[in-house]
Amino acid sequence: MIARGRTWVLPVSVLLALLLGLLPMPGLLQALRPYWLALVLAYWVIEDSERVGLGFAFCVGLVADVAFGGLLGEQAMRLVVMAFILQRFRTQIRFFPMPQQALAVGGLLLNDRVISAILHLALGEPLLPAAYWWAPLVGMLLWAPLFVLLDALRMGRGARL
């Protein structure tokens, strides 16, 4: 990668993802809310692995834990696991066609839900209602538009592809 692209897109996108996670939603949509932070982070791990790695994922997760008022460290752990898997398969995933990439991200989001469920079960914390298991699907559908949007923002108008 020669052109790094604009540097402000990374913090702004992460902040926006955080806000989207906190935005109040009506009851049913609340369950379908995709894990924005994971989606945005996945993009950065795939596209800019020099700046965004496990440490970044961990820090973002901690901030999210404080912001959402959940268990401190839970999202940090989930995001680190996701970032690690993405790093491992980064070279493959980068050259997947878009539908296949979306499918992979969907799988990761589902895995993330499973990790969170296991954590909550192990600690005796309450579990999320069943409707929340649809959220990874929504996240998967949103992957392609999000990817294109972030790419366009980072690289300037339609520079790549």
For residues 81 and 142, which CB has a smaller minimum distance to another protein in the complex?
A: 81
Contact 104, 82 (CB under 8 A): no
Q: Does 133 bind another protein (CB under 8 A)?
A: no
Identify the residue among 18, 46, 60, 102 touching another protein (CB under 8 A).
Answer: 18
**Contacts of residue 104, Cβ cutoff 8 Å, sequence gap at least 6:** 89, 93, 96
Range 60-119, binding another protein (CB under 8 A): 61-63, 66-74, 76-77, 80-81, 84, 87-88, 91, 119
Orientation of helix 54-68 relative to helix 9-22, angle to 10°:
30
* CA distance to 33, 113, 114, 134, 137, per residue, from 128 (Å): 13, 10, 11, 12, 16
Identify the residue among 4, 55, 107, 114 touching another protein (CB under 8 A).
Answer: 55
Residues lying near another protein in the complex (CB under 8 A) are found at 15, 18-19, 21-25, 27, 30-31, 33, 49, 54-55, 58, 61-63, 66-74, 76-77, 80-81, 84, 87-88, 91, 119-120, 123, 125-128, 132
